[in-house]
Each structure stands twice: as structure tokens, then as C-alpha cells.
Amino acid sequence: MDPIICRTLRREYRLHVPDSEAREIFRFMQVDPQVDGYVLESKDVFLERRDGFWRLDVPGEIIVEGSARHVIWEIYRHVFRDVHVSHPTCPLLHCATVLIDGRRIAIVGGKGAGKTTLTLFLLAAGYAIEGDEHLVIEPQRVITRPRTLRIKEGSFDVLANLPPTIRSEPRIELWDGGFVYGVSPGFFGRDWRVTPGSLDALVFLDSNHGGRSVAKRMTAQAALARMMPQVIFGIAGVAMQAARIHGVAQRVPAYSLRLGNLANAESHLKHIGTA
């Protein structure tokens, strides 16, 4: 049976599962974009059943036993730590990244601001989404940390025109009985690629549920203030990383977007960063 592929910016983890039932459970961790500009090390990961629980073995690194949900989150944490190994001096900006007419736009929003719903809307509209969680700020460029879109049922309810087959994407059950889906940026037939390059605009979301979407240009100082709570620093050289974030705020055009009507928000994004 083919392994489940989970790529980072350093590795291609190959999750070996014992059967099709296990594959259905753990394919939530499938992250398989084309990663440009990096040579990925292959690392085998082994999953097996043990007395009604699951056992995860990353040889030479970690062994985890427990429920499927526990093991999935442990895989996720291990994969997340991998970015700190590959980019120890690089800060991570919590955002989605979308390519619009060749421009890379970082969409930054706190809990409830609508970032994931907007990202899924843009994906369905035909835009290339690189990822939905972290942008790695390298010294001269940026690159998205590969991860699928994590969608809750509420976003599906807002976007009524999505194909029903989207609910066949991998999912896991949450503690409250709800589900979160791992929707690939390649779901609508686009190639999913993660490519290093420039950052052309920063967009900070504020919710405006039921209203129109309104975009306004921000000062560099205001952008820096909005960025910092959304930054995770690497494991080395924090002062240097803070200076790099400051440089991004000074250099990259920034906008606030009161997010209401999604089609209206798309129209704003198509013009953002062009002036």
C-alpha cells in the first residue's frame, strides 16, 4: 500500500499504514504539494495497531501510542517542529497565502475573523492557494509552510455552492463532536505548489459579518503592530528576526480589510498591491 505523503520544507515524511481503514483515518495528515527550490529528505514513519490503540514510530526520533486523534496531533506537532529545524533563524507569520495575478498576498486574521472561509472562497474561485497557516520569513524571500486548509462545518454552510464531494476530504473529530476537514489546495484541480519568492502585500482582516468588505491602506507602524501578535519566532537569533519583521512592515504594502461580503472582498484583493 502506498504511504501517506506529508511534506515539509526539509522532509518528505512517508507514513506507512497497515490497511485501507488506517489509511482513511490518517490521510488527514496528507500534505503533498510540489515544493520548489528545496531537496527534501525522505523519512519513513510507521503506524500500527497495538491493543486497540495506535503506535507511531519515527525511527530515531519519537514513538507515540494512543488514540488516533492523539497520534494525529503528535504527528502534526512533529511536522511543525521540523520547520524550526530547517529554518532556525526565521520567524513564522500566521497567515494564509494566495497568488492573485502573480502577486503573493498574505492574509492575516485572528480567530473568528474569517481567514479560512475567505481562503476557501478564493480557492473555489480559481486562485492558487499556497497554504493556510504559516509564512516563513527568510532573509531575502518568503515561503509558505505546507499545510492543507483546516475547514470546519461553518465555512461549508457559508459557501453554499461548494461541491458536496468536498466533504469526502480527510477529516478528524474534535473534542466537541464536530469535525475539521483537511482540504487540499489542489482540490479543485489546480496544481498545488509552494514556491519561494517575494511578498507583495499584507492584508489584515477584521470581521464585518453581514456587511460590505472595505479595504484601507495601513501605515508601516500599524502593520507592524498587527503582525507581531501573529509571529512565532525561530529558535535562534530573536533580535535579528524581530528586525526582519520590522523590515517587512516597512517594505510591503499593508491593508486592513473589514471582511463582509466575500465577492466584494475578492474584488478588493484583485486591486490590492497594484498601486
Confidence category of residue 112, pLDDT binned at 50, 70, 90 = confident
Q: How far apart are CA 264 and CA 190, in angstroms?
A: 23
CB 25 within 8 A of CB 34: no
Least confident of 43-47, 240-244, 268-272: 268-272
Phi–psi pair at 223, nearest 5 degrees? -65, -40
β-bridge partners, 4: 15
Decide if pLDDT at 251 tops 80: yes
Helix (H) or strand (E) holding 242: helix 238-251
> Which phi and psi (to 5°) does residue 113 adopt?
-80, -20
Its pTM stands at: 0.94
Opening angle at CA 42, ends 37 and 70, nearest 5: 110
Look at residue 275 in the predicted model and tell me its pLDDT.
58
